[in-house]
Chains A and B, each alone.
Chain A
Amino acid sequence: MRARILIRPKAGILDPQGQTVERALPALGFEGVANVHVGRLVELDVEDPSRLPEMCEALLANPLIEDYEIVEAAKGP
């Protein structure tokens, strides 16, 4: 399986990167944008997807400060 793991700052933790982007967009004329958060994307091919949560907890994310979401992706060329 090809998986995408979306990692974002946990709700409630101050995210200065998201805030900076949120302030920059109106400056370029893009109005009406709110709640911007900047995270990371990890893409991988995995033989046993049932182990993905374990991988996220152990290495890919830091559960104290980050939430992760596992999304199945179409296999690339």
Chain B
Amino acid sequence: MTRFGVLQFPGSCDERDAVHAASLVGEAELLWHQERDLRGVDAVIVPGGFSYGDHLRVGAIARFSPVMVAVERFARAGGPVLGICNGFQVLCEAGLLPGALLPNLSLRFVCRQVELEVLSNDGAWTRGCAVGERLSVPAKHTTGRYYAPVPVLEEMAAHGQIILKYAAGHNFNGSVADVAGVANAAGNVLGLMPHPEHAVDALTGSTDGLKLLASVAAPALV
């Protein structure tokens, strides 16, 4: 069974939902930010929240925590890593994903359900999705406007690294080119602002988030 490790920084707040969501498709445990090894997990989730109080810049301090050294090694060796919301910001700051997250154009905290369109299922985390499929997932953030300079965006598009985009009318934060989820060149690291771990129970409106987690868990279930 696939074992997920969910990082926990001071100020993380979505790590328990991530553990719950991952435990629906595999096994899941928390990894404290001061740990130096990942206890042999098969996949890592960097969860949402406000790591280190978002001091200086979102994600800027968390990237220097001891556990991130192990995550970088794991990611560079091809291990699947998912960064959600603050986790996405941390992975960008750590240089594991291209680009950066800027304040929403509205400068306001926004919490709403968004529709995402799957542009690629080559990467580890969307293997179980169809290209063109729509996923309904909640988003809740103040600093979620994805930005990368045009040459970087062009290179990402050429390498199939733009994995998810906001469906028409759903790009509420002003992300460049409607980009919602990006991967590294190898496709094993994915980051997105919306929260798949909050979309795993029909009671809360959608179970689409499970598709991302199941994409990583499924090969081990076969």
Contact = CB atoms under 8 A, between A and B. Distances in A.
Interface in B51-72: 56-57, 60, 64
A62 B107 contact: no
B100 interface: yes
A68 B106 CA distance: 25
Contact of B56 (A13, A20, A59, A64): A59
Interface in B40-98: 56-57, 60, 64, 93
A64 B107 contact: no
B103 A16 contact: yes
Contacts of A59: 56, 60, 64
Chain A interface size band reads: 10 to 19
Interface residues of B, number: 17
B218 interface: no
A16 B100 contact: no
A65 interface: yes
Contacts of A17: 103, 107
Interface of A: 13-14, 16-17, 20, 59-60, 62, 64-65
- Interchain residue pairs A-B with the least CB separation, the first 7: A65-B100, A64-B100, A16-B107, A16-B105, A62-B100, A62-B57, A65-B147
Given A64-B149, A65-B102, A65-B147, 20 more contacts: A13-B102, A13-B147, A14-B102, A14-B174, A16-B103, A16-B104, A16-B105, A16-B107, A17-B107, A20-B107, A59-B56, A59-B60, A59-B64, A60-B56, A62-B60, A62-B93, A62-B100, A64-B99, A64-B148, A65-B100
